[in-house]
Amino acid sequence: MLTIKKYAAIDIGSNAMRLLISNIVEQEGKETQFSKSSLVRVPIRLGQDAFTVGEISEENISRMIDAMKAFKLLMRVHKVEKYMACATSAMREAYNGKEVVELIKKKAEIKIDIIDGKKEAAIIASSDLHHLIKSNETYLYVDVGGGSTEFSLFNEGKIITSKSFKVGTVRLLNNMVNDIVWQEIEKWIKNITADFEVINMIGSGGNINKIFKLSGKTQEKPLSLMYLNSQYTALNAMTYEQRIAELGLNADRADVIIPALRVYINAMKWSGARNVYVPKIGLSDGIVKAMYYNKI
């Protein structure tokens, strides 16, 4: 007996909004399978509003409402039976965030949950990592967003600890991360990884996915710290326009990719990791799985 369900996740981030529609295939006697049916990404940079002036602008509120109406229609066309919409650091910090949530509920009939950093890290960690995480190894999971970065430590297949820090690509672009925050992250990473001899890293987020795609490697192969350093140097040497024209980066990716690399490189240095694995998973994948397994 084969059953196919359709769930959707809406990730309202600081750099972009995403709608993921997933097929969930249930077959008696077999493990449940999750596969992407559709993914739509809208580059509305809410963090530029929230982190600089403290509120979501009227223009971006209007764009959000239009996007949510479109997401609602797409979910209807795909016959999605269950969805969850989560907003992260930009909406958490905008003083009109709750007002925007109420307006979207009224105008687009989409209910949005503004989640804190701890819940965000827990949802991301619930993503399907068993194919990557070996039971006898230790991994530092790093998800770099526009407003925050979520870190989770896995050992022997189980999550040991998670923490969210206000270090994200949009904040870094606007010079809103001081040395004290970097020092806190360094201290935390070194402390949680001190008892483990060998650490591997798992990188999540659109920027590391793009770096991985540019490497031409197959999915199961990791990227080295040396490779990330070389990419960081090469991208820094290019202008914003060159990154778009020569590398084919989206306009809203071509600027944030450099600060994102800085976070991943520092995390590798401080944890002692020499390799980073890059599975195609993130908050939206975690939301789908958390809904399915009733973890939300």
Q: How many CA atoms lie within 13 A of 18 on its CB side?
A: 23
Strands 149-155 and 158-165: antiparallel
Buried/exposed 8-19: b ≥16 CB within 10 Å, e otherwise: bbbbbbbbbbbb
Burial class (CB in 10 A: 0-12, 13-18, 19+), 236: exposed
Q: Is 165 in contact with 243 (CB distance < 8 Å)? A: no
Q: Is 51 in contact with 171 (CB distance < 8 Å)? A: yes
CB atoms within 10 A of CB 80: 21
Predicted local confidence at residue 228, as pLDDT: 98
Predicted local confidence at residue 128, as pLDDT: 60
- How far is the CA of 203 from the CAs of 20, 136, 178, 265, 295, in angstroms? 19, 19, 23, 11, 23
CB atoms within 10 A of CB 180: 8
CB atoms within 10 A of CB 170: 27
* Residue spans of the chain under pLDDT 70: 125-133, 296
Predicted local confidence at residue 136, as pLDDT: 81
Predicted local confidence at residue 134, as pLDDT: 72
- What predicted TM-score, i.e. pTM, was given to this entire model? 0.89
Q: Tell me how far apart the alpha carbons of residues 105 and 180 are, in angstroms, rounded to a whole number.
A: 38
In what helix (H) or strand (E) does residue 43 lie, and over which residues does it extend?
none
* Residue given tokens 């590398």 in the structure block: 247
Strands 82-87 and 2-12: parallel
* DSSP secondary structure string for all residues of 139-171: EEEEEE-SS-EEEEEEETTEEEEEEEES--HHH
Predicted local confidence at residue 131, as pLDDT: 64
